[in-house]
Amino acid sequence: MFKKNLNFNKNPDNLIPAIIQDATTKTVLMLGYMNEEAYQQTILTQKVTFFSRTKDRLWTKGEESGNFLNLVSIDADCDNDTLLIQVHPTGSVCHTGADTCWKQPNKADYGFLSNLENTIQLRKENGLAETSYIASLFAKGINKIAQKVGEEAIEMVIEAKDSNDALFLNESADLLFHYLVLLNAKGFELNDVVKILNDRS
């Protein structure tokens, strides 16, 4: 979406901030500034262009590095003086080589599920099999983990045929949990599966 009637005159330098967000992962990548010419150039070329205050000219992100920000959408805030620009980046965004200007990895965050993946990894690395269920699964090896996923899948299917929603949901949670453990044991994470689903769509 491209919005007209932006308030470029609110600030003395006729610049408005542009927050850059990855359209897929929703990670905030960087902050730049645009004047009206940079805004129009962005729409025309479909590559995000800023007004560089240090270079005192228009600057298309990636013009030197090749790491362009391919435009997906532009939205203005309620005062029409700040932009949220969603993009598909073609490489690292920060000049330091980091994914973002805050040195955060540009990967999707699935909230609780991402936290659970982190917990599984920590238990795998540091947990004691005597005190941690997750560590005990890893200690038993990939075959036991895969077997557990199969058992949980069968239990979920059985509950799906009955009318006890609470049991069905609990078995579904057990299956999802053990599936995340299996993904980790195989060296993958939820992002790898989501990428395949995105590619299929």
Q: Which string of b and e fits 114-144 if b means at least 16 CB within 10 Å?
A: eebbeebeebbeebeeeebebbebbeeeeee
Q: What is the distance between the alpha carbons of residues 125 and 146, in angstroms, rounded to a whole number?
A: 19
Alpha-carbon distances of 153 from 18, 51, 198, rounded to whole Å: 46, 55, 24
**Residue type for 28, please?**
V
Residue 3 has a pLDDT of: 56
Per the CB < 8 A criterion, the answer to whether 34 and 83 are in contact is yes
Phi-psi region at 26: left, alpha or beta (left = phi > 0; alpha = psi -120 to 50):
left
Mean pLDDT of all residues belonging to the chain = 93
pLDDT (tens digit per residue) in 17-69? 999 999 989 999 999 999 999 999 999 999 999 999 999 999 999 999 999 99
Per-residue model confidence (pLDDT) at position 178 = 98
Alpha-carbon distances, residue 34 vs 10, 73, 157 (angstroms): 13, 15, 54
Give how far Cα 22 sits from Cα of 5, 29, 154, Å: 25, 7, 38
Q: 76 near 82, Cβ under 8 Å?
A: yes
Q: pLDDT, tens digit, for every residue of 129-166?
A: 888 999 999 999 999 999 999 999 999 999 999 999 99
Task: Return the axis-axis angle of helices 142-160 and 165-185, rounded to nearest 10°.
Answer: 160
Global confidence as pTM: 0.71
How large is the average pLDDT for residues 163-189?
97
Q: Residue 53: which residues within 8 A CB-CB, separation 6 or more?
A: 13, 15, 33
In the chain, what are the domains?
A: 1-107 (3.10.20.810), 112-199 (1.10.287.1080)
Q: What backbone phi and psi angles, to 5 degrees, belong to 105?
A: -65, 140
pLDDT at 2: 55
Q: What is the pLDDT of residues 68-81, one digit of tens each?
A: 999 999 999 999 99
Query: How far apart are alpha carbons 69 and 186 in whole angstroms?
Result: 33
Which residues, 6 or more positions from 12, have their beta carbon under 8 angstroms from its beta carbon? Answer: none
For helices 165-185 and 112-126, angle between their N-to-C axes, nearest 10 degrees: 50
